[in-house]
Amino acid sequence: MSAERRLDVLRAIVEDYVSTREPVGSRVLAERHHLGVSPATIRNDMATLEEEGYIAQPHTSAGRIPTDKGYRLFVDELSTVKPLSVAQRRAIETFLSRAVDLDDVVARAGRLIAQLTGQVAVVQYPSLRRSGLRHLELVSLGGGRLLIVIITDTGRVEQRALELGESPDEETLAEVRSRINQVAVGRQLPEIMSAVATAESWPPQIRALVAEIATVVEQALVEESAERLLLAGTANLARAGMRFEHALRPVLEALEEQVVLLGLLTEMAADAGVSVRIGRETQLEGLAQTSVVTTGYGNEGATVALLGSIGPTRMDYPGTIAAVRAVAAYLSRVLGS
Amino acid sequence: MSAERRLDVLRAIVEDYVSTREPVGSRVLAERHHLGVSPATIRNDMATLEEEGYIAQPHTSAGRIPTDKGYRLFVDELSTVKPLSVAQRRAIETFLSRAVDLDDVVARAGRLIAQLTGQVAVVQYPSLRRSGLRHLELVSLGGGRLLIVIITDTGRVEQRALELGESPDEETLAEVRSRINQVAVGRQLPEIMSAVATAESWPPQIRALVAEIATVVEQALVEESAERLLLAGTANLARAGMRFEHALRPVLEALEEQVVLLGLLTEMAADAGVSVRIGRETQLEGLAQTSVVTTGYGNEGATVALLGSIGPTRMDYPGTIAAVRAVAAYLSRVLGS
DNA sequence: ATTGGCACTCGGAGGGTTCGAGTGCCGGTT
DNA sequence: AACCGGCACTCGAACCCTCCGAGTGCCAAT
């Protein structure tokens, strides 16, 4: 009994089950995939695969379906990339490039993923923490008030006011501004702020002002801890064919628990490239029947946030991975310009 | 046959059906609500009510359920207000007052409504168009660039840059700033801008600058036409007892069509006080089985946006109306401070 | 106007049967 | 040793039938 063929059988089972949504038996397997062996032989392979935990039988007299472990093996070893069509790529590009501002870009990315995968899309808004600084603007508002405007390289704008004893003069401001912006190039915000706060060689009166500015910016970073998520395509969950039509509640609940969902995404951000969590691997009860596919996006390879797709464990992994990766790539490009 | 009792019967049918979710027959009606007449009499009333289109029979041998028209009569004439408990009011107040910024206030209001009504909550973000101006800040960025910062009385902050031929001097800026802010008090943005643009008595060089500023602000108002909505509690749709557990798709789809949903809300904004659309009155296919209850919120009675709850036509109207109204009231108060 | 009585309807629950897909295993073949 | 045809067995899904009872409309009586 060849171990290699057994993997072919597993691949065939996954592909068949994903496309038909029916438990697959030995006969159709032998017919549809030219494996060159008889159903009886396949049955033996299936028995072994079941012992090893890759597939399971919903009922005694039914075919087999892949387990989480089976999908995991399929994703890691058995699946091949499924490139998007040129038309699809072009559609992504033009749709994203029509966005008018950051919110719109994120919303459009969400709709794209939902539409391409036929599943739920999740997009994290670019985080201040992980963004680079495009420009920091300092504006004296008079009466000792200073307006700090942070413009990130993802196009996000955030402003904070700072109360000072007295208004600094324009030259000082100009110097602080140019010094900070010089240090900033290509670095992330928290890093910039700590670098700036400890720049010992700077003149003392400037250092004092810079320290105050850094404090305010740090404060903004902390407040932002409740990052925002965008969901799209939740109606897809109720589509015919999603096996949990009748057990939607837990899934919807899990998706509404944005804090928990964010935790999962953050964990997944640690993986390089596209990250896949299958079924119970998500560690979330509500998502036990679903898989999550995510990847990072941002500027020039630096991840500023995640985006991804959530669907039934019985999803088209190669297609979903391709869609998520493509949208992330174009999104990064749009943000970078 | 007393017409008055017939209305009592209708009220009893609505209340019973809402609480039991079962078609209600003449016998239980006579038992549960002390109407003082026999089931046979009630049957006659029911026959009349059915002829008039207020109730209907799902099957020949089943009890009656209210029609959209029946609910409408109930809401308009038969229901009494159901005040929230003191504990509930206090919970709303403290929960809302803990919000840290505008986004958070809106999110919290959504969660409150979803939780109080056990249905889906919709909250429209305060619109720039309908907001008053708390403060307009003008900042010269040097090189002929001017930063315009709009702070609305709902706490929303929006900024736009303006390219000028040359940087205006600080005195001019200060004068423009103070003139605009003087005109602004208590008026809405579009109105302010047109008032300001036509202030003939102002010195010419100031009028030119003001006109440019007004153009940019108008532009911001136009761009905002795609207003944002927040949804919360969609998981409630899948709760046991929501009759459309198995026909969720159209509802979810309708909720995702934010443009369409916004159109409905805008229509409803025309009604004074709490506005109720029942079933097909929404004119949306996907919401044919649901009712929408909304009301405006804002500062001192001026509506800046809507918020509301969406649930099955078979909802607890008095309770939903009370919850929506209460959250709107506290939300207005929080925003006003 | 109201009511008790009565014949009638019909959806839903329960129970039994059939059907067939799919399995595991055994013994034979290459 | 690997593969395969054959066969007995299992069991869920579908179907059919029957029965039950809630609920109705109508009628004659009060």
Instruction: Give pLDDT tens digits for A275-286.
Output: 999 999 999 999
pLDDT at B172 over 90: no
CB contact under 8 Å between A239 and B256, yes or no, is: no
What are B279-286's contacts with CB under 8 Å, separation 24+? Answer: B279/B68, B279/B71, B279/B313, B280/B68, B281/B68, B281/B72, B284/B254, B284/B260, B285/B250, B285/B254, B286/B250, B286/B251, B286/B253, B286/B254, B286/B255, B286/B257
Q: How confident is the model at residue B243 (pLDDT cuts 50, 70, 90)?
A: low
CB contact under 8 Å between B235 and A226, yes or no, is: no
Q: How confident is the model at residue A85 (pLDDT cuts 50, 70, 90)?
A: very high
Report yes or no: B173 and B123 within 8 Å, Cβ to Cβ: no
Q: Whole-structure pTM over 0.75, yes or no?
A: yes
> Residue at minimal CA–C1' distance from D10?
A61
Whole-angstrom distance, CA of residue A88 vs CA of residue A325: 13
Three-class SS state of A29: helix
Q: How confident is the model at residue A79 (pLDDT cuts 50, 70, 90)?
A: very high
Q: Which H helix or E strand runs over B121?
A: strand B120-124
Chain D: positions less than 7 Å from a protein CB are: 2-6, 10-13, 21-27
pLDDT digits (tens, 9 = 90+) for A162-221: 888 877 887 888 788 888 888 887 788 888 888 887 777 888 878 888 888 888 888 887
- CB of B151 within 8 Å of a chain A CB? The answer is no
pLDDT, residue A54, reads 98
pLDDT digits (tens, 9 = 90+) for B9-32: 999 999 999 999 999 999 999 998
CA A26, C1' D11: Å apart?
Answer: 18
Please count the residue pairs, one from chain A and one from chain B, whose beta carbons lie less than 8 angstroms apart: 57
- A50 beta carbon < 7 A from strand C? yes
What mean pLDDT value characterizes chain B? 89
pLDDT at A157 over 80: no
